[in-house]
Structure formats: structure tokens, C-alpha cells
Copies of this chain bind each other. A is one copy, B any other.
């Protein structure tokens, strides 16, 4: 079995690298093995959703830093069982998987049907771990409490970036036409053109493969053409409302630690035998966000 997956630095790379560290080369496995207990953190149960499908559980970390009003609204929708019995109704190859009230008929109870978009926010007060690597779409990328993010010093704004696994709020043409009754997750190459155009509310931390492997919809934009093709949602719950014994036993690597910086470098310039030419740079959407069992 040949792998596709070392840095023999014998090959000279002319495209300038961002500085190979003087320290001994370490692989991602080395970095993770060396990470200390406090390099890892628990998910906040009040900001974690469990999307339950027949195939299993999808764990979503919510992003109150980027979309506080939408996160509150979605938590309310979840607690009033809005999503239970609804379905995944759109799977567009190399783009998104989408679920919720496709027909717009279900009562939102005490929640809001729509909210003003939370597409960007002030960069002030946001703990931002910057990446030095250049990016096609933003003047600066980095990480904010586990989320891939970007910021622009000229406007003083920051936003969550659409990487694989990022969850957002479907909307119609008007910027204020979404509220959380339809959600999507990025399931292909990062559609960065969505950045600053839509509200990002979370990211999938576990179970992404359950969504990404669904049959593609044959309708326009990947919508399932027949209602029976839709994939039922058993229920969505806020982790805080789930008995502790039934919660996901997961830890996520903090993104504001030197362990995370070491991990980025281990991926920017691969140290294992397989790689012949180190990339020298890394795209924010190619940085892994490791989890481990508690």
C-alpha cells in the first residue's frame, strides 16, 4: 500500500520559505505527543451541538466570537426542537451539505426567523494567532479559539474563514434573510468567495465524514429532487442539555499555544521520509485542528 503522504532538504526550493527552524525537525505526531495537558481544552457544552443522524453523531463547535446573535438564535431553535425531524436536503459536490427547514414552513417558536447578517466583526478584542503565510483572499489569516479566521488592519475587521467543515447560515439574496433555520457545512475545497458574505456560526469537530459521504443531490445546486432522498435529522441538541455520560469525550488542541505553532510548522515543512520538497508555506485551510479522546 503506497501512501501519499518527510523533508529531505536535498532539494533546493527557490520559492522562498518562511524560515526553517533551527530546532530539530518534528513531525505532527511528535508535536502532538509532546503537547501538555493544558495545550488541550474541552469544548464548552453550551457552545457545542450534537447533530444526530441514523449514521451517527456530528459534533459542532459554535462560534459566538463571530456570530453571537445567530449562535443564541440557533441554540434557541435547537432547545425548542426546531430541527428534530427535519432533514439534510442539499449535498452539492465539492461545495456544501445543507440542512434545516427547506420549505420554510415550520414555526420558529420563540426564536427569530431572520437576523441581520454577522458577516464580519471588529478585530478589536479578538485573540488572533496570526499565520505568516501569504493568502490569496485576505491580507492576514490565522486562528481564533479553534476557528480559521482572517483580518484586515485597514478596516479593523475580522471574519471566520470558509474552510472544510465550517458551518454557516443559509440565506436568500438579502443580507438579513438568514437566521439559522437552514445551515450548511463546507464539504469541498474552501469556497473563500463566501467569506464576508454570509454568517459563519461554527465548525464540525467530529463526524464530518458522515456528512461529506452523503449521496450528491441531482437537482440544481445539489438539492435532492425527491423528498424521500432527504436524510432525516433525528435531533439536534445542545451538549449542555445532554447527560454528561452521553456527551462526546473529546479534547481539541488550543490554537493559542506554542504546541499549535509547532504543529503548523510540522505541516508547513513536512519532516517524514515521504516528502522530498517541503512546501515552505501553508494555507490556513490546510492546518489541521486536532482532537483526541478524553
Contact = CB atoms under 8 A, between A and B. Distances in A.
Interface of A: 1-6, 14-15, 89-91, 93-96, 98, 102-104, 119, 133-139, 152, 154-155, 163-165, 168, 170-173, 175, 177-178, 182, 184, 188-198, 208-209, 212-216, 221, 223, 267, 270, 273-277, 279, 281-283, 285-286
A279 B89 CA distance: 28
A223 B4 contact: no
25 contacts: A1-B104, A1-B182, A2-B178, A3-B221, A4-B98, A4-B171, A4-B198, A14-B152, A93-B212, A94-B165, A119-B277, A136-B281, A136-B283, A164-B189, A188-B188, A188-B189, A189-B285, A191-B286, A192-B283, A193-B275, A193-B279, A193-B282, A195-B279, A196-B276, A209-B216
Total copies of this chain within the assembly: 2
Given A135-B136, A154-B15, A286 B3 contact: no
Contacts of A163: 189
A270 B170 CA distance: 17
